[in-house]
Structure 1
Amino acid sequence: MEAADEMVQTDEPESHSGAFKMKERLQKRHKARLEDVERRKEARENQSVAKESVDYFFSTFHGERAAVEELLCGCLGADEKAVAQRLEEATSKTVQMQKFLNDSMVFLTTYDQRKAQMALQKLQTCLNETREQAMPKKKFGFRARTKASSATAEDSVVSAPADHSAAQVDGDPAGAQCGFSNMSDMVLVKTAEDIQKEDVLLSYLSNCKVRLYGAPSTLHLKHIDRCEILCGPVSTSVFVDHCESSTLAVACQQLRTHNTKDTFVYLHVTSRAIVEDCHGISFAPYSWSYPNLDEDFRAAGLDAKQNNWELVDDFNWLAAGTPSPNWTVMPEADRKTTWDP
């Protein structure tokens, strides 16, 4: 009997100890399982972010490449001035593509880097061949064509000739002869007959109101300060560079905005808008209206029902899933709907 009691007393602590150890092992196993689940979740999230970055890169890169190829194809059969403009645009885009690739190296694989670089080299070769074929033994020397009386603007706005034709200024497309340059404190208007299928250039304008009725081929805005510029549907692209404290209303296939700040953009775009080196840009849907607007949309080949005004790619902001701080959507209460009396 005493032996039996002694055995019971001995087994009880051993049983307690075994249960404790079992519980401890289960807790450790559960903790390890939770940690493994967390690691897997984090790995999936990192993989997803990387994939989004790569997808964004190639989507933008291929879009830019297609735009350059389209510009080069348009050189065939075009006049010398139009060719010069297209080649300048193509060169600028190619430089921006290289910068975009360089900035994206941190998340691209070696294979993806090599593939993008080869595509760029091929594009550059095509650009050089097109330049040699379309403009043999010539350079962009169009400054001599400018009238001696035309003023060249560097950092300030100068009064322009009374005929309101676009004067050639440094850095402006050589082929764009339709538009306004070097003006301030004026109301400027072009009719559909003036700009239909033309390349329009607005440069060095200050505190002006501009109305462009009709469907131009392209629209270039350079060095615009405190202006209100409203334009009918543009067949291809709108290029904005060095625009400040202004309001724009444009409809186009592509919008590319550089070096611009504190500007409102009322936009109709059928692809995606691109901003770079910009700050304080606010977007809203295109709201300017005038007689024959629907007809001009058809003439420009734009789908009036397809508007991606809120889809904006910022080349200076590659953080997937985090909104760019350089542009915002304009609150509905602040949007302008009535433009002219």
Structure 2
Amino acid sequence: MEEQAPPPPLPTTTTTTETLDAATQRKHAAMLDRLSTLQQSRLLSHKPNPTDTPPSFESIQSFLSRFSTTKLAIESDLARIRQSPSDPNPIPDPKSQLQSLSLSIAGLEKFVAKNSYFLPSYEVRTCLKSISDLKQTLDHVTSLVIPKKKFSFKSKPTKKGPIVPTSPTQIGTRNIEPTKVGSFRVPDLPGFRGKENEVLTKVFTGGGLDEIGEFTVSDLVDCEVRLLGCLRALFVHRLRNCRVYVGPVLGSVLIEEVEGCVFVLASHQIRIHCAALSDFYLRVRSRPIIEDSSGVRFAPYCLHYDGVERDLEESNLDEETGNWANVDDFRWLRAVQSPNWAVLPESERISSLEILNPDT
């Protein structure tokens, strides 16, 4: 019987795989060629837009160039104003020039804040340090060209009558037409106004909270204010050398233009504007906010009077959150703590402040 020739060998798995890989690679290369051609046509047809965001490197260089130019211009103007008193042709209105430079520095600070998202942290710190130096130079030049008048506290009341309040009203009225004071809108509410060298006390009881839950303290010099019990909101403005002791506030406390004062407050929100050389003993649910302030110090709430624990619990302020030491300075952009506030050293704190309720 004639032997049949063996069948030809089948292709191995390796050969089949290599054939498939080669085909896949050719398809992949063709796809890349098509994408490259499409991208090139898009680039050729695209017209540059002035509003397009440039690459990060170009953005940083453009930012630094503009920052440096503005900074040098401000420094040059400050040097010219500083030499003005001894110059044969002095600047006619240096005060106006200084105000303009103050606005320019503020604009430069906003420029840094607006572009800080793409800047390296080192560049942000360097720019903010330069702005701080410009502010110090501006203050120095201002003190040389336009010396500030020093404030002095009065030791005795004068015969000229009380200080005219922002919006004089009779205690107990309910006219809530607001009056603009600085950055806040202070309501025309019951309160203490236009007093000197007095102890002013108000007790808020259960019925009083519904009748008169908001209060204003303004235009006081060398006074002690005692507000015992719960109230809904407190507005404080233009106080000098005063001591203000307040029970729990259900809403907000707004403070503006105070100097040389001591505040003991418990509230859900506390905002402080234009305060100088003042101490704040706080219990607060949210972080306290300061603006345009300096030399302010903070410590925990220390007020005691008959029923204070009950009032704090009813106002949801019985828990000590520790936020008295977590202060936000809205005028400080750096990552380090603002130099405008500090924690009051324990050796200088009032450990406990006991006030007797006059109604008991």
Tell me the TM-score normalised to structure 2 length: 0.49
The structure with the largest alpha-carbon Rg is 2
1:196 is the counterpart of 2:196: no
1:339 is the counterpart of 2:353: yes
**Counterpart amino acid of 2:320?**
K
Q: 1:132-175: per-residue Cα shift (whole Å, max 9, x none)?
A: xxxxxxxxxxxxxxxxx997447xxx9x8996989999535564
Q: Which residue of the partner structure matches residue 49 of structure 1?
A: none
Shift of 1:295: 1.3
> Relative to 1, partners in 2 of residues 1:221 and 1:255: Cα closer, same or farther, differing over 3 Å?
same
In structure 2, how many angstroms separate the alpha carbons of the residues matched to 1:188 and 1:307? Answer: 29
> What are structure 1's unaligned runs of at least 5 residues?
1-99, 111-148
Q: 1:252-288: per-residue Cα shift (whole Å, max 9, x none)?
A: 1111100110000001111101101000001000101
Is 2:162–2:195's contact at 8 Å kept on the other side of the alignment? no
1:275 is the counterpart of 2:259: no
Q: Which residue of the partner structure matches residue 189 of structure 2?
A: 177
Is 1:212–1:231's contact at 8 Å kept on the other side of the alignment? yes
> Relative to 1, partners in 2 of residues 1:104 and 1:195: Cα closer, same or farther, differing over 3 Å?
farther
Q: 1:40-88: per-residue Cα shift (whole Å, max 9, x none)?
A: xxxxxxxxxxxxxxxxxxxxxxxxxxxxxxxxxxxxxxxxxxxxxxxxx
Is 2:192–2:218's contact at 8 Å kept on the other side of the alignment? yes
Is 2:236–2:254's contact at 8 Å kept on the other side of the alignment? yes
In structure 1, how many angstroms separate the alpha carbons of the residues matched to 2:224 and 2:346? Answer: 23
**Counterpart amino acid of 1:337?**
S
Match of 1:326 among 334, 340, 343: 340
Q: 1:18-41: per-residue Cα shift (whole Å, max 9, x none)?
A: xxxxxxxxxxxxxxxxxxxxxxxx
Structural mapping, 1:1-341, within 5 Å = 104-108=113-117, 152-153=164-165, 170-171=179-180, 173=185, 175-193=187-205, 196=209, 198-320=213-335, 322-340=336-354
Q: Secondary structure at the match of 2:244?
A: strand
Is 2:243–2:263's contact at 8 Å kept on the other side of the alignment? yes
In structure 1, how many angstroms separate the alpha carbons of the residues matched to 2:169 and 2:223? Answer: 15
Task: Give the number of aligned pairs.
Answer: 201
> What are structure 2's unaligned runs of at least 5 residues?
1-108, 120-160, 356-360
**Counterpart amino acid of 2:196?**
S
Shift of 1:222: 0.5
Shift of 1:192: 1.7
Q: Secondary structure at the match of 1:294?
A: helix
> Relative to 1, partners in 2 of residues 1:164 and 1:206: Cα closer, same or farther, differing over 3 Å?
farther
In structure 2, how many angstroms separate the alpha carbons of the residues matched to 1:318 and 1:291? Answer: 43
> Relative to 1, partners in 2 of residues 1:273 and 1:150: Cα closer, same or farther, differing over 3 Å?
same
In structure 1, how many angstroms separate the alpha carbons of the residues matched to 2:112 and 2:351? Answer: 39
Aligned residues: percent identity? 29
Is 1:152–1:169's contact at 8 Å kept on the other side of the alignment? no
C-alpha root-mean-square deviation of aligned residues, in Å? 3.5
Q: Secondary structure at the match of 1:235?
A: strand
In structure 1, how many angstroms separate the alpha carbons of the residues matched to 2:174 and 2:333? Answer: 37
> Relative to 1, partners in 2 of residues 1:317 and 1:170: Cα closer, same or farther, differing over 3 Å?
same
Tell me the TM-score normalised to structure 1 length: 0.52
Is 2:224–2:242's contact at 8 Å kept on the other side of the alignment? yes
